[in-house]
Amino acid sequence: MLAKAVIIGRPNVGKSTLFNRIIGRRRALTHETPYLTRDALIEPLSWNDMKFEIIDTAGMDVNVKNKLNDKIVEFLKTYIEKADLIYFVVDGFSQITLLDEQIVNLLRKSGKKIVLVVNKVDDPKAVKLNYEFNKFGFKDMFFVSALHGSGVADILDFACKYFKEQGFAPVVKKAAARPVKSEVKRERTKAKPSAKAKKAMDEEQYEELEEFDPKTDIDDDDPDAMLEKQKLEQRGLLIKKAIDIALIGQPNSGKSSYLNAILGYERTLVCEEPGTTRDSIDTRIDFEGREINLIDTAGVRKHTSSYDNIEFYSVKRSISSLEKADVAIILIDITRGITFQDKHLLDLAFENGKGVVLVLNKIDLVKKSELEKLSKEIIDYIHEEFPDSANAPKFFISAKKGLNTFEPLKKAIEIYEKAVNSAITTSVLNSYLTEIVSLHPPASYKGKPLKIYYSTIIARTPPTFILFVNDTAYVSSAYRRYIINKFRAAFEFEGYPIRLVFKKSLSRDQAVERGGNSRRK
């Protein structure tokens, strides 16, 4: 169990800016608009020889009385209880407010270790602090500028020291393996390949990747190996330790309710107000022995003209989360039917080559007598608009009532692992390709026939095949669809779109003949 450092403070004191500065990237949305952050953002952090979690929270305002703010305050109290250390952030450019004092009183009652962080101290000489913040009586106080980074290292050093004192174990670092001198020298003197040699290497690589063992263990301490690992994972040629599963849907489709139903506790805020979720929330869980990273995203709307500045960046994060995901669980509000937003999301998922699981939520709001007919109409419409969706698994659930909530997640894991573990050898693939081409030969193009010489698989997520042909101009969209349908029927790529890449090439016999002629010369 990692130690937890929780950032608490009133709205607009720079908590999210501080969080982004600590983790080294723009994970949390930042804007001058108050109450921007609503859910808790959690990131693991390694600092010095300690590893702990840093948690960004919503701005606390106990004086605002509405349903959403009441939920936010209750939500914050749960994270105060979980905290091992609290960074109480105040604005160094303003006076202490009544709200600051109210939050301090609440924090003191928790009995947790509190560190006062005076933020926005970009120039300590220009700020008239007058030691005003000493009135809180906190022993540990730091002046920082989250915007420029000054003082941030000091609060992290303090956290590491405190966590050690509380008995949290430091991280034991592995000794990096040194390369053999002869290997380094050989690497430096290696000649750069010519364009022709590079092309030949690329074509050989297709064969090698197809035979790559997805369970291969790669050294995490080697930066070059880690970069190669990421590339292989993106193409489904290596099984990921944690599968990224994005929960996608239009506003108020029930994404956060679904996440909370899976977890069994309120990880994200749920409210009838559309757009409650603004950040993309990552949650790591162990599900039936498999490590999963569930990503709850902000609702995505079709028309960008309807976005305000905040929503623009929220949607941008959602799309970015979809792009990094291995599988997308797309939630659709069954009471609304298929909307433009839903079609937009399906487009995004298939264009990005993601595995898709379709979930029609809120079936508890539909009469049982109407459910079967409505479900059939929606599914028929989806299949007509998106041919790739015909192979996507579909589920009918009620996240609010807890009906059938775990089945979509099980299926998402299953379609990912099936795709990554699929063993399609070049010989099997080409035997089948020869068979389907002979059964239904391609139509000629301006009197010239399309010839498909051979094929190989170059990625598994999504399943991507390269087909070497005499001329790519001869490939019709109808014949492309024919091959996709046949490949799907034979190899059972459930949930994923199949991609075909046609490449102009010589036949194998022509290549051998050309190679023989060049040697004779």
pLDDT tens-digit map of 401-438? 999 999 999 999 999 998 888 878 889 999 999 999 99
Superfamily of domain 3-165 in CATH is P-loop containing nucleotide triphosphate hydrolases (3.40.50.300)
Find the range with the poorest average confidence among 120-134, 185-199, 371-385: 185-199
More confident residue, 316 or 297: 297
Least confident of 262-266, 277-281, 458-462: 277-281
Rg (Cα) of the chain, in Å, rounded? Answer: 28
Q: What percent of the chain has pLDDT over 90?
A: 29
pLDDT tens track for 249-267 = 887 788 888 888 888 866 5
Top-confidence residue, 198 or 115: 115
pLDDT of 355 strictly over 60: yes
Q: Is the pTM of this model over 0.75?
A: no
List the alpha helices (DSSP H) in 264-355.
309-324, 340-351
Predicted local confidence at residue 273, as pLDDT: 43
**pLDDT at 204 exceeding the cut of 50:** no
Average pLDDT over residues 184-189: 44
Q: Among 476, 430, 478, 429, which Cα is nearest to 450's? A: 476
pLDDT of 478 strictly over 90: yes
- pLDDT above 60 for 278: no
Between CA 220 and CA 59 the distance in angstroms is 37
Q: Residue 314 — very low, low, confident or very high, per pLDDT cuts 50/70/90?
A: very low
Q: Out of 3.30.43.10, 3.30.70.1230, 3.50.50.60, 3.40.50.300, which CATH number does the structure's domain 242-421 have? A: 3.40.50.300
Let me know: does 54 contact 43? Beta carbons within 8 Å. yes
Distance CA 479, CA 494 (A): 21
All CATH 3.40.50.300 domain ranges in the chain, comma separated: 3-165, 242-421
Cβ neighbours of residue 102 under 8 Å, at least 6 residues apart? Answer: 62, 63
Token pair recorded at residue 482: 């024919």
Tokens of 462: 């999504």
Instruction: Give pLDDT, residue 3.
Output: 93
More confident residue, 178 or 467: 467
Q: Is 378:338 a contact under the CB 8 Å cutoff?
A: yes
Q: What pLDDT, on a 0 to 100 scale, did the predictor assign at position 432?
A: 94
Cα separation, 454 vs 469, whole angstroms: 8
pLDDT at 198 over 50: no
CATH of 426-520, one of 3.30.300.20, 3.30.950.10, 3.40.50.970, 3.50.50.60: 3.30.300.20
In the chain, list all ranges with CATH 3.30.300.20. Answer: 426-520
Q: SS3 of 142, please?
A: strand
pLDDT tens per residue, range 1-33 = 889 999 998 888 888 889 988 887 765 544 444
Mean pLDDT of 485-507: 88
Q: What is the pLDDT of residues 88-115, one digit of tens each?
A: 999 888 888 888 888 888 899 999 999 9
The per-residue pLDDT for 487 is: 93
| pLDDT tens figures, 48-67 | 889 999 998 876 666 656 56
Between 29 and 391, whose confidence is greater?
Answer: 391
Least confident of 117-126, 182-191, 314-323: 182-191
Q: What is the DSSP string of 155-191?
A: HHHHHHHHHHHTTPPPP-PPPPPPPPHHHHHHHHTPP
Q: How far apart are CA 323 and CA 149, in angstroms?
A: 30
